[in-house]
Amino acid sequence: LTTTTCFRHPKGRADMPLSKSCFAYGAAAGFAAGAAAGIGLAHLWTPSFCSPKKSGISLLYWNGRGLMEVPRMMLAMAGMFPGDYENRKFWGEAKGSIEPVSAIEDQMDANFGRMPILKVGDVSIGQSVAINYYIAKATGLLGSSVLEAAQILSIQEHLTELGKAYRDVFPYMGPPPTEEALEDFFTQGAEDYAGKADGSKRAERKMKWFVKRLEGVVGEDGFAVGGKPSMADVLIYRTFGETIPLDQTTLEEKSQYKTEPFGSKAKMDRLLGECPKLKAIIDKVESNPGIKKWLEIRCKDDKYAF
């Protein structure tokens, strides 16, 4: 069963909000097959873009990877690249395709004056979790059922927890991590990798604890959830596998660590060697044609700042 939702030009309104489309489709099925079936079909409905060139999607973010790279990667996996949607990048001043942030100062209320922001027609959405959800749903990367969607979102939250644990040790605006501190974060800490978590070790949960726990949750077929590509795969790749060449950024050589997963690709790869399921997911995403193309073109016009 399929249906199609049309999106007009970014300055126009979406023909029908996603939630109303889902409800209408699920309700119709419900009248025909019962309320339970209607609810199920409402989730299985996935929007498709009538014309990718007029998807009505605009991504607004700083000139870097950060919180907008997962949506860009999901769109790439769906065969959509800048030009099929608006990929607007901002910094303090205009340079090349980078716009001054002052150009959208009056368009940032959806995220309380911050970015990232997703615009669909004249509707703006803030917060990366909501943006990830919308793009995943629109590109068919949110699973085939409510249950699979919940599993995918669960993995997203686990990775968010890991990111917080890392930033508690290595603050975003702090000094470069030392080799000793990184080695400690990657190799030491809590060792209860299965079963009931030891609450007394909460403060000791570091990289190995999160990665080993996640290894026990994901699928065994090269996909995290449901035996097919999903946002969870993209999140895992972006978190543990993706890097960016230093010459594609404006970073100085001393900031090389910022281009690698958690400050060290070598340490990350070493740990992933103990986690074949996660490694298979990362390899599969990395070999995706859309991802390959995106990595080739993303800094073609302007180098990323982070």
What is the tens place of the pLDDT at every residue in 21-39? 333 333 333 333 344 444 3
Q: Which residues contact 145 (CB under 8 A, 6 or more apart)?
A: 40, 43, 44, 226
**Is the pLDDT confidence value at 5 over 90?**
no
Of 306, 291, 293, 304, give the one whose Cα is nearest residue 95: 304
pLDDT of residue 20: 33
CA geometry: angle at 152 spanning 149 and 153, to 5°? 85
**Is the pLDDT confidence value at 17 over 90?**
no
pLDDT of residue 24: 33
Lowest mean pLDDT among 35-44, 101-110, 237-246, 285-294: 35-44
**Is the pLDDT confidence value at 3 over 50?**
no
Q: How far is the C-alpha of 104 from the C-alpha of 113, rounded, in Å?
A: 10
* Local confidence band at 43 (pLDDT 50, 70, 90 cut-offs): low
Residue 60 pairs with which residues in a beta bridge? 88, 117
What is the tens place of the pLDDT at every residue in 111-129? 999 999 999 999 999 999 9
pLDDT of residue 166: 98
What's 106's DSSP letter?
G
Q: What mean pLDDT do residues 162-185 have?
A: 97
Q: How far is the C-alpha of 209 from the C-alpha of 186, rounded, in Å?
A: 9
Backbone angles phi, psi at 243, to 5 degrees: -130, 170
Q: How far is the C-alpha of 32 from the C-alpha of 38, rounded, in Å?
A: 8
Q: How far is the C-alpha of 278 from the C-alpha of 236, rounded, in Å?
A: 8
Report which of residues 287 and 6 the model is more confident about. 287
Mean of the per-residue pLDDT values of the chain: 87
Pairing of strands 86-91, 57-62: parallel
What is the tens place of the pLDDT at every residue in 195-224? 999 999 999 999 999 999 999 999 999 999
**Is the pLDDT confidence value at 139 over 90?**
yes
Taking the CA atoms of residue 230, residue 232, residue 235 and residue 237 in that order, the dihedral angle to the nearest 10 degrees is: -80
Q: What mean pLDDT do residues 146-153 have?
A: 98
pLDDT of residue 62: 97
pLDDT of residue 198: 97
